[in-house]
Chain A
Amino acid sequence: MTTTQSGIIPTPIQPNVITAQDLVAGYEDNIVWRDANFTIDRGEFVAVIGPNGAGKTTLFRLLLGLQPPTSGTIKIFDSEPKRGNPQIGYVPQRHLIDSETNVESLELVHLAFCGHQWGFHLSAKSGRKAALVALNAVGAAELAHQSLNALSGGELQRIFLAEALVSNPSVLLLDEPLANLDIRRERDLLQLVNNVVRSRSVTALLIAHNINPLLPFLDKVIYIANGKVATGRPREVMTSEVLSALYGVHIEVLHDSRGNIAIVGIEDHHPLHHALHHVDE
């Protein structure tokens, strides 16, 4: 496996980072969603939105090469997804770090850089340096020597983001990073992801429950619900027509004075509150 050193971004012009054609995803006989067609360009910030169990994480599993599509094609950098793609940085959906896991943040980020290497390496200076650079990039340098079990939810998410960034990926997959964050920290983290996306031309896909906090930053939305997928610019997708077609029931999309969206007609959304998040099955 190769990792690129920080600062060098290996990019001949690749307009389409991810393309999906007639994509159907599922587990064995069970189809989770079907007929997804979309393209995601370099440097786009994309939200993956939808109710619990709709198959948002399944999309990530396809991109990570952890499961094959049921049918159709999905390509990332013009090739089939394969496990261990060094161009992808992944932050899985996580529960809290075990309170007994007393390991400092720097070690986790460092291991994300060199953990795949076999054999011993006592003087791993370059790895530690890369880890510190990644922690700096997420504004968590002062947390480097803090133990993971002593961090708050927002701090942990920043460490996980550094863990994903340390190998300098071109694509970030963030699974529910906003779960368990209060509104202020939610905003801080999104601002941070946005900075990474814009400053490094990284393509980010972020799974979330509630689109409102993301709206100021988004280029695209992948809305997964009811076994179907709708994609496009936020204002194209978050409309009564598109969502009604997606869910198959009449849905009303309302806007408040600050541009927040309220979706009426489905139980799963509480967009104007900070929704309590549940674990995706």
Chain B
Amino acid sequence: MNKMTISINLFAALQQMFQYQFMQHAFEAGTVVAIIAGIVGYFVVLRRSSFAAHALSHIGFAGAAGAVLFGISPVYGLLLFTSVGGSMMAALSPRAAHRDVHIGTVLAFMLGIGVLFISLYTGYATEAYSILFGEILGISNSDVLLTVVAAFVILSVIAVVYRPLLFASLDEDVAEAKGMPTFLLGIIFMILVAVATSIAVQVVGVLLIFSLMVTPAAIAQQLAKRPHHVVIISVAIALIATWLGLFVAFYEPYPVSFFITSIVFVLYLLVRFVYRRIKPLKVSQTGFQNDA
């Protein structure tokens, strides 16, 4: 990447940046991914499924490695492996709360397959690196298109399952007693996470998926207590981090994912420690205390 001086004029800087097609693609894919990750991330946080999101991205690594081995775009391998892996996790353990062991079991098996694929593929070093840490500046036109299609599917599904999924995530026992299909919702949720993870991997990579899928929603949850407000803030944080990360990375010779993760982390620290000082939350009480 050319080393350029940052212009005082933001508009001129943006114009300069968007002359490059790879930057256009990066912004397009990054924007779509940030929106999706911000939304799906809220349900991940609400269901305490961040380990599942983490595991799915690693499972995606095996799929991506397999796709590279067979000479197709890694994102197809990601989609296939994460969807299958996610469904397996949800089916093996119907209760969200007890899922960790099952997830870990599926994760280890899938990662083993990934290791096999890598050993079979000879020229893997750069490919593996971009899967692990993201390669948004190398994103192709067709990848952008696929990202948009995947995002559209995710948004459509969420529009349909929004309230039942929200209620089942908040209060699984009552949802079940009310006759809601909690098992099916669990599987739908995992497939949503799988698809969202697959497209987010292009931006931040397998290892850094938390920075877009979990942390923005976790930050947003500190700032608002109505679900749709949290979702909006979560999306805004993911967008700010992605845009700012891309912008800075255009001028500095360091990886985009480093900047995105750093921005998200700084926001996390600010909200966790500074915001809480300003507006302390009551810690949940166990009873035997006055609440009058």
A97 to B286, CA, bound (A): 10
Write out the residue numbers on chain A whose beta carbons fall within 8 Å of the beta carbon of B100: none
Report B's interface with A, CB cutoff 8 A: 45-46, 48, 159-164, 166-168, 170-171, 173-180, 218, 221-222, 224-227, 230, 281-289, 291
Shortest CB-to-CB span from B131 to chain A, Å, is: 30
Task: Give the tally of cross-chain contacts (CB within 8 A).
Answer: 127
Contact present for B159 and A119 (CB under 8 Å): yes
A145 to B226, CA, bound (A): 9
5 further A-B pairs in the complex, CB-CB below 8 A; given A151-B284, A181-B287, A182-B289: A90-B174, A103-B226, A112-B171, A115-B167, A147-B281
Nearest A residue to B172 via CB reads: A92
Report A's interface with B, CB cutoff 8 A: 1, 64, 66, 82-86, 88, 90-92, 94, 96-104, 107-108, 111-112, 114-121, 145, 147, 149-155, 163-164, 180-182, 185
9 A-B pairs with the lowest CB-CB distances in the bound complex, closest first: A84-B179, A115-B167, A153-B287, A152-B291, A92-B173, A150-B282, A180-B287, A111-B167, A104-B225
Contact present for A163 and B174 (CB under 8 Å): yes
Contact present for B171 and A108 (CB under 8 Å): yes
Shortest CB-to-CB span from A236 to chain B, Å, is: 31
24 A/B residue pairs, CB under 8 Å, sorted by A: A83-B176, A83-B177, A84-B177, A96-B286, A100-B48, A100-B221, A101-B46, A103-B227, A104-B225, A111-B163, A112-B174, A115-B167, A115-B175, A117-B163, A118-B161, A119-B163, A147-B281, A149-B284, A151-B285, A151-B291, A154-B287, A154-B291, A163-B171, A180-B287
Contact present for B177 and A111 (CB under 8 Å): no
Contact present for B287 and A152 (CB under 8 Å): yes
Q: Is the interface of A mostly helix, strand, loop or mixed?
A: loop
A90 to B221, CA, bound (A): 27
Contact present for B221 and A102 (CB under 8 Å): yes
* A101-B46, A104-B226 known; A116 vs B167 contact (CB < 8 Å): yes
Contact present for A116 and B164 (CB under 8 Å): yes
Contact present for B45 and A84 (CB under 8 Å): no
Contacting residue for A182 out of B162, B180, B225, B287, CB 8 A = B287
Write out the residue numbers on chain A whose beta carbons fall within 8 Å of the beta carbon of B48: 98, 100
